[in-house]
């Protein structure tokens, strides 16, 4: 994985390398398990197709977490707006993508400036937002992204190109149909070799640990397995602020759990949006930013309890 000698790495980089490096024993999943998993999902999708009618459903990690959380908040149409904090993560991801493929040893601020320029030229809502920023707001955005990029460099060793490092990789399955699973992976390392699982899927995070982050990665592992029929070998939520990864080996049990969770979410989505079931309130950490929280007794009670327990609500990424 590393493109530098161990003596040239910091203790934190060596720790990352040790956690993500392959073990001597190859990881190979039973092909019959993978075939059964894929067949069971396809059969469930066939049943869902009949209930969907003419509707089409795109399933992402965010949509899964949302519908399995508070259904009232999930159904509320809330207009998205960009901010330096949110956009800074997108800029940092683009900068990391440039950094991995950049020759030499570039200055982080220069890489971030190039990432901002490229995003501003894109015909997207983020590009339009960046293009309209004042110099002061642009400086705020640059500062957030540079901080994240430097922390990435502190945590990760230089990535060996033989490990096929890829950022912002889009995955989807199936190719079309009423239900499509899709996602965009922050960082992948390795690629399958024959039947051997070698790929590592990494999500880059700032802030606090949330159980949802592990579920997000398990969803990516499921999509990767359905798409290539070879599961990844390892998942890692890497918390850049703390310099700590939460690493998990991919197992048959993990993939089955991710499949059940995904199918439960699709079923709930159809019940709510197509069949008209009444949504269920489920107070949780998302109450902190819910636009309905001010008029929600359950949400206010939850937030009050969090403050009583912890002094203030927990800050999750």
Tens digits of residue pLDDT in 190-211: 998 999 999 999 999 877 888 8
Tens digits of residue pLDDT in 149-197: 999 999 999 888 888 999 889 999 999 899 999 999 999 999 989 999 9
Tens digits of residue pLDDT in 267-295: 999 999 999 999 999 998 888 888 888 88
Which of the four pLDDT bands, split at 50, 70 and 90, describes residue 6?
low
Asked if the structure places residue 312 within a domain, the reply is yes
Short-list 72, 67, 69, CA closest to 293: 72
> What pLDDT, on a 0 to 100 scale, did the predictor assign at position 295?
87
> What pLDDT, on a 0 to 100 scale, did the predictor assign at position 8?
84
Q: Are 180 and 154 in contact (CB under 8 A)?
A: no
Asked if the structure places residue 81 within a domain, the reply is no
Residue 239 has pLDDT above 60, yes or no: yes
Asked if the structure places residue 301 within a domain, the reply is yes
What is the pTM for the complete model shown? 0.90
Who's near 312: CB < 8 A, 6+ residues apart? Answer: 306
Query: Structural domain tally of the chain?
Result: 1
Q: Are 181 and 215 in contact (CB under 8 A)?
A: no
Asked if the structure places residue 305 within a domain, the reply is yes
> What pLDDT, on a 0 to 100 scale, did the predictor assign at position 307?
55
Q: What is the DSSP letter of 200?
A: E
Asked if the structure places residue 315 within a domain, the reply is yes
Cis bond before residue 120 (omega within 30° of 0): no
Q: Which domain holds residue 312?
A: 287-317
Asked if the structure places residue 313 within a domain, the reply is yes
Asked if the structure places residue 299 within a domain, the reply is yes
Six token digits for residue 228? 């290539």
Asked if the structure places residue 303 within a domain, the reply is yes
Cα(1)–Cα(164) distance, rounded to whole angstroms? 9
């Amino acid at each position: 994985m590393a493109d530098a000698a161990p003596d040239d790495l910091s203790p934190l980089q060596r720790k990352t390398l040790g956690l993500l490096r392959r073990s001597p024993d190859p990881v190979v999943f039973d092909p019959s398990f993978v075939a059964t998993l894929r067949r069971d999902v396809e059969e469930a999708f066939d049943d869902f197709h009949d209930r969907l009618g003419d509707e089409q459903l795109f399933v992402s990690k965010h949509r899964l977490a949302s519908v399995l959380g508070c259904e009232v908040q999930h159904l509320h149409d809330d207009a998205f707006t960009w901010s330096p904090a949110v956009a800074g993560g997108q800029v940092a991801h683009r900068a990391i993508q440039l950094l991995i493929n950049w020759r030499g040893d570039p200055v982080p601020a220069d890489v971030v400036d190039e990432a901002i320029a490229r995003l501003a030229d894109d015909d997207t809502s983020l590009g339009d937002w960046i293009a309209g920023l004042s110099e002061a707001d642009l400086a705020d955005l640059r500062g957030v992204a540079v901080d994240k990029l430097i922390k990435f460099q502190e945590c990760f060793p230089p990535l060996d190109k033989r490990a096929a490092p890829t950022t912002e990789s889009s995955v989807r399955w199936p190719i079309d149909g009423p239900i499509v699973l899709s996602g965009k992976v922050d960082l992948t390392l390795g690629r399958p070799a024959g039947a051997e699982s070698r790929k590592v899927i990494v999500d880059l995070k700032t802030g606090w640990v949330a159980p949802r982050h592990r579920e997000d990665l398990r969803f990516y592992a499921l999509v990767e397995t359905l798409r290539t029929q070879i599961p990844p070998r390892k998942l890692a939520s890497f918390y850049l602020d703390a310099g700590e990864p939460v690493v998990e080996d991919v197992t048959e049990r993990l993939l089955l759990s991710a499949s059940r969770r995904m199918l439960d979410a699709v079923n709930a989505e159809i019940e709510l949006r197509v069949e008209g079931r009444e949504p269920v309130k489920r107070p949780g950490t998302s109450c902190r930013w819910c636009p309905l929280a001010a008029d929600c007794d359950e949400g206010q009670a939850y937030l009050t309890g969090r403050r009583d327990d912890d002094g203030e609500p927990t800050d999750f990424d």
